Amino acid sequence: MVKTINVGLIGFGNIGTGVVRALNENSKLIMSRLSCPIKIARIADIDITRQRPVKYDKNILTDDTMSVVKDPSIDIIIELIGGTKIAKTVVETALRYKKHVVTANKALLAHFGADLFALARENEVSLLFESSVGAGIPIIRSLAYSYSADRINTIRGILNGTTNYILTNMEEQRRDFQDVLKEAQEHGYAEPDPTFDVEGFDTAHKLCILASMAFGQDIRSDSVYVNGITQVQKDDLVYARELGYIVKLLGIAKLNESGKAEVRVHPTLIPRTSTLASVRGVYNAIEIEGEPIGAQMLYGRGAGWGSTASGVLGDVIDLANAIASGANIPYPINIPKGKKNIRPISELSTAYYLRMTLKDVPGMLARVATVFGDQKISIKTVLQKTSDPGKFARVIFITHTALEGNLQKALNAMKEKKLCREKPFVLRVEE
């Protein structure tokens, strides 16, 4: 008689309900892919009265979270509370009680990942987290297993559906940020307080998880340079298009020859013909560049109950099969072991997009070009958009690759020389 694997579900909101729903709807299929039966044995949530649009045994629902986490009959805990407070206690306690844990909590992992993985290892259990980045997009499993013979040099990801939805609609419908944000909030694609998404913090958390795995370093969110999309104007998207680019909020992580990592989140110009450029609306995609694998891209819905539940259950099924196969420590994951070694943003070397408002006088362009030249920055393209003839001209520059530190010096010099009406707006370019 094969033992049933008992699962405790912590958090019975949208995603938790989705997990139960997927198990119900695909039960026969899922059972056929398991070498032992699994069962949601207990569910904990602070709200035990609300009606959920899913069939489940009311007797297994409790508001006593810790009684589920510590229940000796439970083999696997699914943590879907989110945040870094109660969720942290839940995950730590479950691991200490030698239960395997599946979580979709990117904030928790970005802040405490390495500690939690160490705790899991100490207790000879697994901590799986496929849904923490890109929901069901199989990027975590691929980094842990498929690309295990590769040196990953670059990660570029559209990791946040809210901001990609906003940028897509700003560009395609030539609308302002605030306007599209409001619509996204109405559709439920953006939170009432959108700060976390639009300022890039959510992308930064996910990038930490990917970069830590790919580079074998313990990279946490305080190491990430973060810039959101609130200052991007619809005009920038129009100019970018004219120049053959599209603007995406990217999480970018690169590892140089000497093992130094750069980890940054900012709106970025990428070529319109690139595969990442075709990722529209709420979709996510992660591009990996490695040796010898070359370029890869994984794409899908990065949020929502369906994609997230698929990722969570994939982890649960994996664990159940590993437990049933009698492995010692099932599923040893490629967790970060090394110390972080981060390159400061001032040492970044990339191309830039600059939107400036210059005095519309003869020789002005030459004066700006001289300031750039003094800092070893060479101009690739100039696009002049006269906005206020005889007074001011809007000028767009795309530079060749230059040092971020030098760019800042050039911008300071322009400020001193009072060449611009206002602070130039800068975006980075990835070719």
User: Binding to a copy of itself by residue 309, rule CB under 8 A?
Assistant: yes
Cβ 198 vs Cβ 181: under 8 Å: yes
**Which range in 328-336, 352-360, 375-383, 391-399 contacts a copy of itself by CB under 8 A?**
328-336
Choice from 3, 85, 187, 337 touching a copy of itself (CB under 8 A) = 337
> Which residues form the catalytic set?
206
Choice from 226, 304, 387, 400 touching a copy of itself (CB under 8 A) = 304
- Compute the least distance from the CB of residue 297 to a copy of itself, in Å: 4
Distance CA 183, CA 185 (A): 5
User: Binding to a copy of itself by residue 307, rule CB under 8 A?
Assistant: yes
Distance CA 291, CA 431 (A): 19
- Total of residues contacting a copy of itself (CB under 8 A): 66
Choice from 321, 350, 357, 399 touching a copy of itself (CB under 8 A) = 321
On the 0-12 / 13-18 / 19+ scale of CB atoms within 10 A, 403 is: middle
In terms of CB distance, is 6 or 357 closer to a copy of itself? 6
**Bridge partners (DSSP) listed for residue 393:** 358, 386
**Bridge partners (DSSP) listed for residue 386:** 393
In order of 11, 132, 220, the CA distances from 83 in angstroms are 12, 12, 15
Binding mask 110-149 for a copy of itself (x = CB under 8 A): --------------------x-----xxx--xx--xxxxx
- Restricted to residues 196-225, the positions that interact with a copy of itself (CB under 8 A) are 216
User: Binding to a copy of itself by residue 292, rule CB under 8 A?
Assistant: yes
User: Binding to a copy of itself by residue 322, rule CB under 8 A?
Assistant: yes
User: Binding to a copy of itself by residue 228, rule CB under 8 A?
Assistant: no
In terms of CB distance, is 173 or 231 closer to a copy of itself? 173
Choice from 81, 265, 313, 371 touching a copy of itself (CB under 8 A) = 313
Which own/partner contact pairs does 412-416 have at CB distance under 8 Å and 24+ positions apart?
Answer: 413/371, 413/374, 413/375, 414/356, 414/368, 414/371
- Restricted to residues 20-79, the positions that interact with a copy of itself (CB under 8 A) are 21-23, 25-26, 29-30, 32-33, 35
Which amino acid would we find at residue 418? K
**Which range in 228-236, 291-299, 341-349, 353-361 contacts a copy of itself by CB under 8 A?**
291-299
Interacting residues with a copy of itself (CB under 8 A): 18, 21-23, 25-26, 29-30, 32-33, 35, 130, 136-138, 141-142, 145-151, 216, 273-275, 277-279, 290-301, 304-307, 309-311, 313-314, 316-318, 321-322, 325-330, 332, 334, 337
